[in-house]
Homo-oligomer: A and B are copies of this chain.
């Protein structure tokens, strides 16, 4: 029986069709993309979709402040402030390395902000904080954006491997449907695989390719344990309302402007 796992709609137009019903519920999925491919847009759109369906979401920002993320995404008309105030969306700032004393930063935009502290930002400590907040807030979707700088703390592959597996386990133990973003190292379609692609339950690649001198964007569900899915590379665009995938088109045959 295909579809043995429960699904959550992604909130991204066309993607649920590629996934034949949405992402597996309660799993941690990796979104790997090139610069400008829309990883953050993808991840927040997933939370916004959930918030509209009554699933509160938590956005953990590793490289940018939540305030800046909100400004960056303001043109999509998602009204993130309103979702925050209704308790449907929590954004936490996990960029302590840029601040003196490495203070961890409270969620933004809430009327009575609660202060969360991570004494030392490592994969385990981040996970403990996420789990605490998730429990208190009835969170059902979590985004960690991006995982890259945390992975750099484990230069030895065997330790990085172990840390990543623990991290994915811990996220999954929250019961939430999770997205973790990661940076793609190269624009080549033929490339070395990245460690996290092997260790995650599912991988969605956002490629930005150059084909005969044109820039082409393609989304590929490289891996998705537990569910059947379309495995083709499908064109996508970042439109005025967010990311849109074209599940019936082919990347190199789409008419380009």
A231 surroundings in chain B (CB, below 8 A): 36, 208, 215, 217
Of B190, B214, B218, B226, the contact of A186 (CB 8 Å cutoff) = B190
Please give me the residue from chain B that is nearest to A216 by CB atom: B213
List residues 193-251 of chain A with CB under 8 A from any CB of chain B. Answer: 193, 197-199, 201, 203, 208, 210-215, 217-218, 220-228, 231-233, 238-240, 250-251
Are the C-beta atoms of A193 and B203 separated by less than 8 Å?
Answer: no
A73 to B148: give the CA distance in the assembly, Å.
29
Of B72, B158, B218, B240, the contact of A226 (CB 8 Å cutoff) = B72
Are the C-beta atoms of B169 and A98 separated by less than 8 Å?
Answer: yes
Q: Does A35 contact B (CB under 8 A)?
A: yes
Of B198, B210, B218, the contact of A189 (CB 8 Å cutoff) = B210
Interface residues on A, range: 35 or more
**Identical copies of this chain, number:** 6
Chain B nearest CB from A232 CB (Å) reads: 5
Q: Does A13 contact B (CB under 8 A)?
A: no
Q: A63-B165, A228-B238, A251-B213 are in contact. Are A36 and B5 (CB under 8 A)?
A: no
Are the C-beta atoms of B252 and A212 separated by less than 8 Å?
Answer: yes
Are the C-beta atoms of A197 and B35 separated by less than 8 Å?
Answer: yes
Chain B nearest CB from A93 CB (Å) reads: 12
A190 surroundings in chain B (CB, below 8 A): 186-189, 210
List residues 131-148 of chain A with CB under 8 A from any CB of chain B. Answer: 146, 148
Please give me the residue from chain B that is nearest to A251 by CB atom: B213
A169 surroundings in chain B (CB, below 8 A): 98
A-B contacts, 11 of them at CB < 8 A, read A1-B240, A2-B75, A5-B71, A36-B231, A63-B199, A74-B226, A98-B166, A149-B162, A152-B161, A187-B190, A215-B232
State the A residues within 8 Å of B (CB): 1-5, 34-36, 40, 63, 71-75, 77, 95, 97-98, 146, 148-149, 152-153, 157-158, 161-162, 165-166, 169, 183-193, 197-199, 201, 203, 208, 210-215, 217-218, 220-228, 231-233, 238-240, 250-253, 256-257
